[in-house]
Amino acid sequence: MRTTWDLETDVLVIGYGLAGGVAASIAHDGGSDVLILEKNEYPGGCSIFAGGSAKCVEDAEAAREYLTVLSAGRVDDEVISAFAQALAENEDFIRQLAQVNGAELKRIPNTQGSYPYPGRETWYSLRIAKIPGFEGFPWMRCFLSPAGVNLIKLAMDNVESRGIPAMLSTPVRRLETDDSGVVIGAVAEKEGRELAVRARQAVVLATGGFEQSEWMRKQYLQGMPFFSMAPLTHTGDGIMMSQKVGAALWHMWLVHGSYGFKFPEYQLAFRHPFSGYRNPKRKMSWIVVDKMGSRYMNEYPPAPQDLPHRAMEIFDPDLPGYPRIPSLMIFDEVGRKREAIAQPLAFPGYEYNWSEDNSAEIERGWIIKANSIAELADAIKERFPENEGRMDAEQLEASVREWNMCVETGKDRFNRPPGSMMALATPPYYAAQVWPIITNTQGGPVHNAKQQVMDPFGQPIPRLYAVGELGSFFGHLYQLGGNIGECFTSGKIAGQNAAKETRLP
C-alpha cells in the first residue's frame, strides 16, 4: 500500500466535465476539501458540445414509471427511484447553482419523453439561455447552440467561486487502494512525472466514456467500425481504472448515436442534422440503403440520435461482413439544394463548415453524383471501395421505386413518418457513405443509488463513486437530454455522499 503522496485532499474528482464540476462543488458544500484533475488542456469534455438542455421531471412517481419501462429490467428499482427523485429536484438544484453567475434558465415545457411510455408527459427541459456578460470561451466555439458552453461555464463558475483547485493536462493513470481494497487516492501524470494524490474521504470518477478507444469500441459494440464525435481524450480511462480495483461494468453496448459521416481528412465524425426530438412534419430528403441497395431502416425514428445506428449493426457470415456498414444515403437534386446533409462539430483544430447546398462536398468527392439511379449504382461501386463492389443497380432502382410509392401512399413498412417523406425523382441523384456514429457511450462501472461503484458481487467498492456518462443510468433506451440531466443528478448525489465519508487519519 502506498504511503507517500505528493498531494492530499478529502475528495478527489477525476475529470472536469459537467458531472465532475457538479460533484466537486457539492462535495465542497458538504465540508470537504476537493481537488479536480483533468486530462485535457481545458475543462468541458463532451458536456461542452451538448446541444440540449438538462432533463427534469414534474413528478418523481411518473418518472419512475417511465424509467422502469425505458430501462427494461436492466437497472435496479432502487437506482431508478433515486434517479427519478433527483430529476424531480433537478430544476431547484440547477437554479441554486445558477445563482453563482445569474444564469438565465429557460424552462422548455413541451419536450416530452422520447418514447410513448406511461409518465411521458412529466418530462421537461431546463436550458441555460444566457449568462450575463458571457460570450463563450476563447478556446471553444459552440456547435448547435451555446447550451453546452453555458453548462460548462456554470460548472466552472461554481468550482471557481468555491476556490476548488483544478489541475489541467493531468491525466490520472490509476487508482490506489489500501490492502483491503479501500480506494485511498490516485496516481496522475503531470509534465511527464508521476503525481500521487491521497484522498482522505473519496474518489469520484467523472471521466466520461470510451468514444475514442478503438479497442473498447471493438470489444463492446456489435457493429464495426463505429466512429465518434467526442473529444479525443475520451478513451475509457475511468472504466479501466475502476475495473482494476474490482468494478462490475454495465451498459457498455449502449451508444447515444446515429448514422453519419467519416472522412479520412477529419479525425472526428460528423452526424446528420436531425438531432433532438422527432418532428413528424420535418422533411428529410434522403433514404438509407445497404451495400446492395436495399432500404432497411426508419431513417427518422422517435429519437433520431438514439436508435438508427442499431439497425446497421447486423453481421452476415455468408458475405462475410457487415452488409450495412457503411450504408449509402441516397438523395436527389431537390434534396441536395434543400439543406446540408451533415452537421459537423466545431472542435479546436477540427473545424469544418459543411456547405449549405452540399456542393463543396460533391467537389471533394465525399458525395457522388449521377444522372440516373442505375448510373449512381455504378458510381458507388467504382468510387467507394468500402462498398466492395456489392451495389446492385436493379436493387437500388427497385428501392427508389418502392420509396416513391411510399411517399405517394404515406405508408412505409419501416414506419417513417409520412410528413418527413420526400420523393426521389429529380436528377441528378447523389450518394454519400454513412457509418454508425457515436455521440457518446453510456457504459462504465455499475453504481448504486448513492453513485457508489459496485463490484460484480453487488458490494460497493469503498470510497469510490462514478458520475455522468461513465456508467450512465441508460442501459436499454436513451432518453434524449438525459445525459446532461444525469450529470446534475449524479454529481449532486455523489458529491453529497462523498462528503459524508469519514476522513482517513
Ligand X SMILES: Cc1cc2nc3c(=O)[nH]c(=O)nc-3n(C[C@H](O)[C@H](O)[C@H](O)COP(=O)(O)OP(=O)(O)OC[C@H]3O[C@@H](n4cnc5c(N)ncnc54)[C@H](O)[C@@H]3O)c2cc1C
Q: Which is nearer to ligand X, 124 or 430 (CB)?
A: 124
Instruction: Count each helix (H run) and each strand (E run) in the chain, helices first.
Output: 12, 20
Residue 333: beta bridge partners? none
In the complex with ligand X, which residue's Cβ is closer, 347 or 430?
347
Site mask for ligand X (CB under 6 A), range 133-162, x = bound = ------------------------------
Among 33, 176, 412, 469, binds ligand X (CB under 6 A): 469
Number of residues that bind ligand X (CB under 6 A): 39
How far is CA 132 from its chain centroid? 28
Residues between 177 and 236 with contacts to ligand X, criterion CB under 6 A: 206-208, 229-230, 233
Q: What would the 3-class secondary structure string for 100-131 be?
A: CCCCEEEEECCCCCCCCCCCHHHEEEEEEEEC
Q: What is the DSSP letter of 166?
A: E
176: closest CA among 455, 495, 463?
463
Rounded Cα distance between 262 and 121, Å, is: 37
Measured distance between the N- and C-terminal CA atoms of the chain, rounded to whole angstroms: 15
Q: Which of 12, 27, 34, 46 binds ligand X (CB under 6 A)?
A: 46
Q: In terms of CB distance, is 49 or 354 closer to ligand X?
A: 49
Member of 10, 13, 24, 51 binding ligand X (CB under 6 A)? 51
Would you say 162 or 381 has its CB closer to ligand X?
162
By beta-carbon proximity to ligand X, the closer residue of 111 and 294 is: 111
The residue among 205 and 499 lying less far from ligand X, judged by its C-beta, is 205
* Segment interacting with ligand X, rule: CB under 6 A, options 42-50, 83-91, 105-113, 290-298: 42-50
How many Å apart are CA 362 and CA 500, to the nearest integer?
59
- Nearest approach in angstroms of CB 342 to ligand X is 13
Question: Looking at beta carbons only, is 30 or 208 nearer to ligand X?
Answer: 208
Which region, judged by CB under 6 A, interacts with ligand X, from 32-40, 96-104, 397-405, 427-435?
Answer: 32-40
Give the alpha-carbon dihedral of 395, 396, 399, 400, to 10 degrees: -150
Cell numbers representing residue 243 in the block:
475495473
172 binds ligand X (CB under 6 A): yes
CB of 295 to ligand X, least distance (A): 27
Cβ neighbors of 80 (< 8 A, separation 6 or more) are: 64, 67, 68, 71
237, 290, 306, 361: which one contacts ligand X (CB under 6 A)?
237
Query: Binding ligand X by CB under 6 A: which of 16, 347, 384, 488?
Result: 16
Write the binding mask 83 to 122 for ligand X: x where contact by CB under 6 A, - elsewhere.
----------------------------------------
Non-local CB neighbours of 3 within 8 Å, separated by 6+ positions: none
> Contact at 8 Å (CB) between 20 and 489?
no
Region of 47-55, 127-135, 192-200, 402-410 interacting with ligand X (CB under 6 A): 47-55
439: contact with ligand X by CB under 6 A:
yes
CA neighbor of 288 nearest in space, from 403, 176, 166 = 403
- Distance, in Å, from the CA atom of 262 to the CA atom of 58, rounded to the nearest integer, reads 40
Between 230 and 248, CB nearer to ligand X: 230
* Geometric angle at alpha carbon 407, from 404 and 409, rounded to 5°: 110
Residue 293 lies near ligand X (rule: CB under 6 A): no
Of 361 and 469, the one with the shorter C-beta distance to ligand X is 469
Site for ligand X in 480-499 (CB under 6 A): 481-484, 487
Q: Select 387 or 490, whichever has its Cβ closest to ligand X.
A: 490
- What is the C-alpha separation between 352 and 141, in angstroms, rounded? 12
C-alpha cell at 348: 479546436
Q: How far is the CB of 16 from ligand X (least distance, A)?
A: 5
- The least CB distance from residue 248 to ligand X, in Å, is 19
Residue 498's identity, in one-letter code, is A
Comparing CB distances to ligand X, the nearer of 127 and 295 is: 127
Taking the complex as a whole, the smallest distance from the CB of residue 499 to ligand X amounts, in Å, to 19
- Does 453 contact ligand X by CB under 6 A? no
**Binding piece for ligand X, criterion CB under 6 A, among 15-23, 91-99, 411-419, 446-454:** 15-23
Cell (9 digits) for 161 = 467561486
Q: Which residues contact 282 (CB under 8 A, 6 or more apart)?
A: 274, 300, 419, 420
| Residue written as grid cell 436495399 | 294
CB–CB of 300/416 below 8 Å?
Answer: yes
Exactly one of 11, 12, 13, 18 binds ligand X (CB under 6 A); that residue is 18
For residue 65, what is the enclosing H or E element? helix 60-71
Residues 6+ apart with CB under 8 A from 73: none
CB of 47 to ligand X, least distance (A): 3
Q: Does residue number 9 form part of the binding site for ligand X (CB under 6 A)?
A: no
Contact 74, 446 (CB under 8 A): no
Question: Which residues bind to ligand X, rule: CB under 6 A?
Answer: 14-20, 37-40, 44-47, 49-52, 171-172, 206-208, 229-230, 233, 237, 345, 439-440, 468-470, 481-484, 487
